[in-house]
Structure 1
Amino acid sequence: MHENPSREEIRNLLEGARNVAVVGLSESPYRTSHAIARFLQNAGYRIFPVNPNLKGPVLGEEPYATVEEIPERVDIVDVFRRSELTPPVARDAAVAGARAIWLQLGVYNEEAARYAGEHGLTVVMDRCIKVDHAALLGR
């Protein structure tokens, strides 16, 4: 059974990250994914929208259909998808060379965690990146 990294490991991950792919990002400002992506931008991260249904920029950034298509190295893949849809995202994140996959609050999948962990990614599940950022970095 997966165990999330320690608070210190999560703090180090957040402090060392610059690029965050937001999988499932919605163009609607009323969706949680949009609000958290905007928070991440305001906190100094560069976000990369990942959603094959997006037709134009979101929060000023061009969208991608997959993490692998992003032309820069991604530090964290922040996932806003249903739990059962996360194993392909874990594979995409691993192929792209991401450092970590972060499944948002309410999202939990052992298969995705196992695959990502076996491919060297730090795995955080069922936690909100915004809440952890505020609690651990105070910004």
Structure 2
Amino acid sequence: MTESDIAAALTEARTIAVVGLSPREDRPSWGVARYLKSQGYRIIPVNPGQAGKLLLDELVYPNLAAIPREAEVDMVDIFRRSEAVPALVDEALAALPALRTIWMQLGITSPVAAEKARAAGVRVIEDRCPKIELPRLQSGLHSV
């Protein structure tokens, strides 16, 4: 993962599936999703315990496979433990034809899943937060 990978991910993304989005406003997933939405990204919440409800004015899906293909999800932002990532990457690769980036939040890594995604032509960002990286990118504090 390079600075140019981060810049490309955030510049190219339009629709982001946020896996593990919590309905609780004090949770990092909610704050990050709200911020991304405020920056013009479409957010698609994924949380089986909240499926069918609305979070941030968007319908919550139980899993990635349930998201309609016409949603054209191009990035998946993962707020789940590292152990859950391989299955999520498998599901994302199978269900999301427009997928360009797998993003794993701070503290989340999965070398095996990352390699599988990269082998399928998908960019992978690990152990980073778009709410931190986007302002840094916008302020020019990066080298691409």
Q: Which runs of 5+ in 2 are unaligned?
A: none
Give the 5 Å matches for 1:1-139.
4=1, 6-55=2-51, 56-71=53-68, 72-95=71-94, 96-97=96-97, 98-138=99-139
Identity of aligned residues (%): 41
Instruction: Give distance in 1, aligned partners of 2:134 and 2:48.
Output: 27
Q: Give secondary structure in 1 for the equivalent of 2:109.
A: coil
Stretches (4+) displaced over 6 A? none
Does structure 2 conserve the Cα–Cα contact (< 8 Å) formed by 1:7 and 1:136? no
Aligned AA for 1:119?
A: A
Deviation of the 1:66 alpha carbon: 1.6
Provide the alpha-carbon RMSD of the alignment.
Answer: 1.4
Q: Which runs of 5+ in 1 are unaligned?
A: none
Deviation of the 1:82 alpha carbon: 0.4
Aligned AA for 1:63?
A: V
Aligned AA for 2:61?
A: Y
Which stretch of the first structure deviates more once superposed, 11-20 or 21-30? Answer: 11-20
Q: How many residues align?
A: 135
Deviation of the 1:115 alpha carbon: 1.6
Deviation of the 1:118 alpha carbon: 1.7
Deviation of the 1:109 alpha carbon: 0.9
Deviation readout 1:11-32 (Å, 9 max, x if unpaired): 1221111100000000000100
Deviation of the 1:61 alpha carbon: 0.4
Q: TM-score, normalised by structure 2?
A: 0.89
Does structure 1 conserve the Cα–Cα contact (< 8 Å) formed by 2:5 and 2:125? no
